[in-house]
Amino acid sequence: MKVVLASLIAVLAVLPTSARSQSGSMTLPPSVPAGSAFSIPTSGNGDGYLYIVGPTQAIKQSVHLGNPISFSAGDLYSAGAYLAILVTGSSTETQQLVVTPADKTSTLGFIAKPSRLPVGLHNGISGTVYLFDAYHNLILQPTPVTLQLSNATGVVQSRTVETRNGLAWSEMDSSAKEGAAKFIAKVGDVTSTRIIEQVPGDPCSISITAQPDGGKVKVQTAPIHDCSGNAIPDGTIVTFTETIGDKQSTVDVPLKQGIARVDMPAYKGSKISVASGVVAGNEILWEGGR
Amino acid sequence: MMNRLFAASFALTAPFTLLAAAQQPSVRVEPPQLQGSRPVEKQTEVSVIRDYLQSWKTLDTALNQNDASALDASFVGTARDKLASTIEEQTALGLHTRYTAESHDLQIVFYSPEGSSIELIDTVEYHEQVMDHDKVLADKPMHQRFVVVLTPSQVSWRVRIFQASSQ
């Protein structure tokens, strides 16, 4: 009987230790900034594994219960929601762990559109900026973003917009003067630049003159500009039309050094007109050299 | 079936709730609350949400089968890279996971002026199941807010940013 009792006492003495060795618990922080070093205190004793698993990262670490589980900077870097699963012997404890984006902006996703547009367009240029931390997590903390559009003469427009849900956006006018503009997004010392090409708009007006040249008539335009005074680029097509009675002939001529020229048959009483795009110019009634 | 239900119901006054077919998540779509950006045409809204909901099925398949190539149908850019990286990690650890959505509460919050990106917020109830080979390590209901950015591809919208958020 004494032997049985002694054995029973021995077993009871051992059981709690054995049970503790197969179970443990952990105390998770409410949230962890992405990429930061942190530790998770544990209780109990024995060994096990901690899994941290979410759609954007999965890690596993061995655990000595009773000791904190340490994570070095950069170990857990992807913002999101995770299951933290502590497996010890036959026991499993599961909790949720949230990893938040780091506060510091590291890169900007800057979408500037269009890359080329006519001058003088109100709200013609748009810029959308996404803020990312060093681990490509979208930074959701509201953050001011400065958007600047400048040309060779300096800053033309500047706006500061606070991000919402990780992005900020704004629209800008294209300038009255043709040429390349720099579109810059800036957060702290992080910048991103896009080049916007501003090209002349449609011709403001077109005027032609005509001179006799043997059996032909030489027709040419005056230098063609848009309504802001920018020269219409060479290569722009100008269409000359000669009409006599119910007959009509047209010639398409590219601009060269701002002027379009053409030789047309000299029919007395013909009408010669000009157009480019949606803009029509003056009309000449050819009376044979007058 | 779900998609047809969804498309057919979309013309109804928002917000609305779709009673899902068996094993399909319920989907509630709030009216867009844009940041003064370009309005979303109804057809675009339907397409974006249809493709986004499909991305959850893609996510579940890819992470359950540890098949990164399956991601291509729905994910691109950063989102695809991160999910593919997780698949590599799961494979190395002998894990696979299931993400089964039970409900979505969606709202479009931004549509870029030139139409090249759209952002939505989705509050999702889903089950996350983690398996070590055939052993289930965890199976837990989750309730999370996701910030999602989609961009148009040739025939569909694909998820470029996919991030659970506590905010």
Closest chain A CA to residue B163: A80
Q: Average pLDDT in the A219-236 region?
A: 92
Interchain CB contact of A92 with B (< 8 Å): yes
pLDDT of residue B167: 58
Q: Yes or no: say if A128 and A96 are a contact pair by the CB < 8 Å rule.
A: no
Which chain A residues are Cβ-neighbours of B122 within 8 angstroms? none
> Confidence class of residue B21 from pLDDT cuts 50, 70 and 90?
very low
- The number of C-beta contacts closer than 8 angstroms across A and B is 124
Taken in order of first residue, the domains within chain B and their CATH numbers are 27-165 (3.10.450.240)
pLDDT of residue A273: 95
Torsion angle in degrees (nearest 10) through CA of A206, A207, A211, A212 = 60
Closest chain B CA to residue A115: B114
pLDDT at A158 over 60: yes
Closest chain A CA to residue B95: A58
Range name among A2-16, A63-77, A157-171, B93-107 with the lowest pLDDT average? A2-16
pLDDT at B135 over 50: yes
- Facing B35 at nearest CB: one of A136, A141, A164: A164
Q: From CA A145, how far away is CA A130, in angstroms rounded? A: 10
> Confidence class of residue A90 from pLDDT cuts 50, 70 and 90?
confident
- For residue B155, the 8-state DSSP code is S
- Chain B nearest CA to A101, separation (Å): 9
Q: From CA A223, how far away is CA A258, in angstroms rounded? A: 5
Interchain CB contact of A136 with B (< 8 Å): yes
Q: Taken in order A222, A228, A234, A240, is the CA torsion positive or negative?
A: negative
Q: What six digits make up the tokens of B122?
A: 């989705």
Same fold, A107-199 and A208-286: yes
pLDDT of residue A287: 85
Task: Tell the residue number behind the tokens 């070095």, with chain if given.
Answer: A72
pLDDT of residue B1: 38
Q: Average pLDDT in the B120-127 region?
A: 97
Interchain CB contact of B135 with A (< 8 Å): no
Interchain CB contact of B7 with A (< 8 Å): no
pTM exceeds 0.90, yes or no: no
Which chain B residues are Cβ-neighbours of A59 within 8 angstroms? 89, 93
Q: Yes or no: say if B97 and B83 are a contact pair by the CB < 8 Å rule.
A: no
Interchain CB contact of B114 with A (< 8 Å): yes
CATH of span A208-286? 2.60.40
Q: Environment class of residue B114 by beta-carbon count within 10 Å: exposed (0-12), middle (13-18) or buried (19+)? A: middle
- Chain B nearest CA to A58, separation (Å): 6
Amino acid at B165: S
In three state form, how does the secondary structure of chain A look? Answer: CHHHHHHHHHHHHHHHHHHHHCCEEECCCCEEECCCCEEECEEECCEEEEEEEECCEEEEEEEECCCCEEECCCCCCCCEEEEEEEEECCEEEEEEEEEECCCCCCEEEEEEECCEEECCCCCCEEEEEEEECCCCCECCCCCEEEEEEEECCEEEEEEEEECECCEEEEEECCCCCCEEEEEEEEECCEEEEEEEEEECCCECCCCEEEEEECCEEEEEECCCEECCCCECCCCCEEEEEEEECCEEEEEEEECECCECEEEEECCCCEEEEEEECCEEEEEEEECCCC
What number of helices (H) and strands (E) belong to chain B? 3, 6
pLDDT tens column, A53-85: 999 999 999 999 999 999 999 999 999 999 999
More confident residue, B130 or B13: B130
Q: Average pLDDT in the A79-102 region?
A: 94
Q: Would you call A136 and B82 a contact, using CB atoms and an 8 Å cutoff?
A: yes
pLDDT tens column, B95-110: 999 999 999 999 999 9
**Superfamily of segment(s) A107-199:** Macroglobulin (MG2) domain (2.60.40.1930)
Q: Taken in order A160, A164, A166, A172, is the CA torsion positive or negative?
A: negative
pLDDT of residue A22: 57
Phi, psi values for residue A278, rounded to 5°: -100, 5
pLDDT at B73 over 80: yes
pLDDT of residue A289: 61
- Facing B163 at nearest CB: one of A31, A94, A138: A138
- Chain A nearest CA to B134, separation (Å): 15
Interchain CB contact of B161 with A (< 8 Å): yes
Interchain CB contact of B19 with A (< 8 Å): no
Q: Would you call B113 and A169 a contact, using CB atoms and an 8 Å cutoff?
A: yes
**Which architecture characterizes domain A2-100 according to CATH?**
Sandwich (2.60)
pLDDT at A4 over 50: no
Q: Would you call A130 and B161 a contact, using CB atoms and an 8 Å cutoff?
A: yes
Q: Which of A134, A56, A36 is nearest to B144 (CA)?
A: A56
pLDDT of residue B12: 38
Ordered by start, the domain boundaries in chain A are 2-100, 107-199, 208-286
Interchain CB contact of B14 with A (< 8 Å): no
- Facing A83 at nearest CB: one of B83, B140, B162: B140
Interchain CB contact of A87 with B (< 8 Å): yes
Interchain CB contact of B166 with A (< 8 Å): yes
